[in-house]
Amino acid sequence: MRSFQDRLGDFDARRVHLVAISVDPPEIIREHCRKQGYTFTFLSDISSDVLRLYDLVHEKAGPGGTDISRPAEFLVDSQGTVRWVNLTDSIAVRARPEQVLRVVDGLSLGGPS
Amino acid sequence: MKRRWNAALWVGFLIVLAAPVTYLTVFVRFPITRDFPWATLLIFCTGLALVGFGLRRAFREAQIYRGKISGSILMTLGVALFGLFLFSTFYMMRQLPPSNGAPQVGRKAPDFTLPDKDGNPVTLSKLFEPGAGGGEGARAALLIFYRGYW
């Protein structure tokens, strides 16, 4: 997440809006973002509704057997179409910002850049 | 004659201990040493090789070096620690749901509205509308799902 914050300017320049999502309540997320200095959009899916909608629920994987999200990244264009998906097979291996920026540069996303 | 202290055993074991510690404190922070933990595996192997060397010495040159018992214990612990590391990184961390129902490339991403960190509702489709974020609207959105529990 730190790596995405560091490259936020590159995403902004391409008008790609970063949206992080976790099951934490907003106040926990606010505190986390404040401490870490994260300025991108960070949403709270406390009821896991969006996780279910995207089939990303990792059952009982959180503390105390709670449901959390599996790590995943989706690039969605302005028509709402998924243009790129990354469903990692290891918690330790996440998409890197450079990887996503290359994907963005290789796509014709439409609209003035 | 007093037998000599078998330093290789202990130095090797310290290196083995350093492997998971440095992984969790340092190497896990960089994708290049986290995606495939080659640095940690290298440290483990170096440590275990040193313990192995010490153990061999303890048995082959028993009249010179000590460490038959302590060496055996350290070797067992070291191998167990290595096994635990392999198990967690190559098995436990890969126990993820298949997510076969996740939206695929070319499909519509289901729209949603969720509160942001200040409790303000944010709708995915509205990020693309002109005026969103004080500009022309986004050309794309990158949704990043995190495990959370910070």
Percentage of chain B modeled with pLDDT above 90: 88
The helix (H) or strand (E) run that includes residue A57 is strand A57-58
Q: What is the pLDDT of residues B44-77, one digit of tens each?
A: 999 999 999 999 999 999 999 999 999 999 999 9
User: What is the spatial distance between Cα A27 and Cα A33, in angstroms, rounded to a whole number?
Assistant: 10
Residue A13 at interface with chain B, using a CB cutoff of 8 Å: no
Cβ contact B57:B3 at 8 Å: no
Cβ contact A73:A100 at 8 Å: yes
Q: Residues 30-49, chain A: which have Cβ within 8 Å of B?
A: 30-33, 41-45, 49
Report the mean per-residue pLDDT for chain B: 94
Domain limits of chain A?
A: 2-106
Partners of A83 on chain B (C-beta within 8 Å) are 105, 140
From B92's Cα to the closest Cα of chain A, the distance in A is 9
Of B139, B146, B148, the CB nearest to A15: B139
Task: Given CATH 3.40.50.300, say whether it is the number of domain A2-106.
Answer: no
- In this predicted structure, what is the pLDDT of residue A112? 53
Residue A91 at interface with chain B, using a CB cutoff of 8 Å: yes
Q: Tell me how crowded residue B32 is: count the other CB atoms within 10 A of its CB.
A: 10
* Mean pLDDT, residues B101-124 taken together: 97
Question: Hey, which residues does A22 pair with through a beta bridge?
Answer: A44
Percentage of chain A modeled with pLDDT above 70: 96
Percentage of chain B modeled with pLDDT above 70: 97
Q: If pLDDT is split at 50, 70 and 90, which confidence band does A30 have?
A: very high
Residue A64 at interface with chain B, using a CB cutoff of 8 Å: no
Quote the pTM value: 0.86
From B150's Cα to the closest Cα of chain A, the distance in A is 7
Partners of B28 on chain A (C-beta within 8 Å) are 92
* Nearest alpha carbon to residue B136 among A10, A76, A17, A20: A17
**The three-state (H, E, C) secondary structure of A11-24, written as one string:** HHHCCEEEEEEECC
Partners of B108 on chain A (C-beta within 8 Å) are 80-82
Half-sphere exposure of B141 (CA within 13 A, CB side): 30
Q: If pLDDT is split at 50, 70 and 90, which confidence band does A37 have?
A: very high
Percentage of chain A modeled with pLDDT above 90: 89
Q: If pLDDT is split at 50, 70 and 90, which confidence band does B1 have?
A: low
Q: If pLDDT is split at 50, 70 and 90, which confidence band does A111 have?
A: low
* Mean pLDDT, residues B82-98 taken together: 94
